[in-house]
Amino acid sequence: MADALHAFYDRIPLIDRFETVGDTARYVSLPDGWHVGVADVEDSTRAIAAGQYKAVNMVGAAVIAATMNALKTRNYPFAFGGDGAAIAVPPDAAAAAADALARVRRFAATALDLELRVGLVPVEDIRAAGHDVRVARFGVSPKLSFALFSGGGVHWAEQALKAGRIALPEAPQDAWPDLAGLSCRWEPFASRNGRIVSLIAVPAPGADEADFAALVTRISEIADAAPDRAVPVSAESMVPTVFSSGLAIEARAARGAVGRTLTYLKLVAVSVFGWVLFRNHWRFGGFDPDAYRAMSVLNSDFRKFDDGLRMTLDCNAEVEAGIRRALEAAQADGIADYGIHTQDAALMTCLVPSVMSDDHMHFIDGAAGGYAQAAVALKGRIAARAAAA
């Protein structure tokens, strides 16, 4: 399993400038025999409207954590989508990945009252449908890179999942995922510049890849020129709280009422200890809270490419207007379809195998709809274009 991952994923050259991620010539096709897994919270917009935004994001990140722990490696292709996730695994890891996905579905339903669709499909089936799955790696810090996907295959798998064509069977009642390292202890991060913008932009049918890549570059340049480079999380804004609203959600990963209670008490104790360290800038052993905060900003996935551009940005009115103008022009020219949603804060869900290493990862979404609402807006624009044709 590890050998197959190393032979493919670890050897893909890193992309170090995000503005170039739209250049699909830098992506490598998945080898034959690999599988693509997808997960999606059903009716996530309703759950978010009911105040379950943290739980929805935790389930999306749980897919990545459970697969990571099942494969016993952090270096495999995955992408966080807010209300779901996508993964890619080699042939000898397909059974373990399928089991992990089914277990997360059971966890979501039992512990969080969320319906999670999960599916796994061979890449050969995707290619037979006329698409591909190509992968690149974007290096965000010296110890961490995030996978990027192109080729339309992940999107095809997501649609096949929603149509019920690649769904996995349910896990037994007593099956529970290993979610070690997953946490959601930070409160939402208020915008420092005026608004948090969640955007999704995908190539329009028949669009030229070079034109779409130029759009990705343009949006990235607008964000990079914005105050704080439009990054929605800063070291200064990472102020710990003792009784974070995410602790109760995190505790539900434990089994049984007694287990959840004990886990919650343990999490509170850890939070108190962390609060003392972070507030006083105290080091403990090899842990440096200031260095951890700085690395968390670098290791956040606020921008990604997953068969299209996804970004969660902290914008002022001028920056948001510039982004909207670029997207509107691209849609008018038949280059892209897009969806945007704005809110007052961003949400961060964390996967921290160890606080002593610098490869902890932090998944970013808007705190009041985020990518889920941007996807609704995207679908509306696509439907309007089709109706006008």
- Token output for 239: 């102020």
The answer to the question of residue 269 being in a domain is: no
* CB-based contacts of 96, cutoff 8 Å, min separation 6: 1, 70, 71, 89
| pLDDT band at residue 368 using 50, 70 and 90 as cut-offs | very high
pLDDT, averaged across the chain? 94
Q: Looking at the 3D structure of the chain, how many domains does it have? A: 1
Please indicate whether residue 184 or residue 83 has the higher confidence score (pLDDT): 83
Q: Which residues pair with 15 in a beta bridge?
A: 138
d(CA 310, CA 332): 20
The answer to whether residue 248 is domain-embedded is no
Does residue 166 lie in a domain region? yes
- 194, pLDDT greater than 70: yes
φ, ψ for residue 98 (rounded to 5)? Answer: -60, -40
H helix or E strand, kind and range, residue 123: helix 123-128
Domain assignment of residue 326, given as a range? 2-236+292-388
Residue 243 has pLDDT above 90, yes or no: no
Enter the tokens of residue 377.
Answer: 């807006």
Percentage of the residues of the chain whose pLDDT score is greater than 70: 98
* Domain annotation covers residue 215: yes
Q: Is residue 232 part of a domain?
A: yes
Q: Residue 319 — left, alpha, or beta (φ > 0 → left; ψ -120 to 50 → alpha)?
A: alpha
Give domain status of residue 251, yes or no: no
Question: Looking at the domain assignment, is residue 252 inside a domain?
Answer: no
Q: Is the pLDDT of residue 6 over 70?
A: no
Please determine, for residue 222, whether its predicted confidence score (pLDDT) is greater than 80.
yes
Per the domain annotation, does 255 fall within a domain?
no
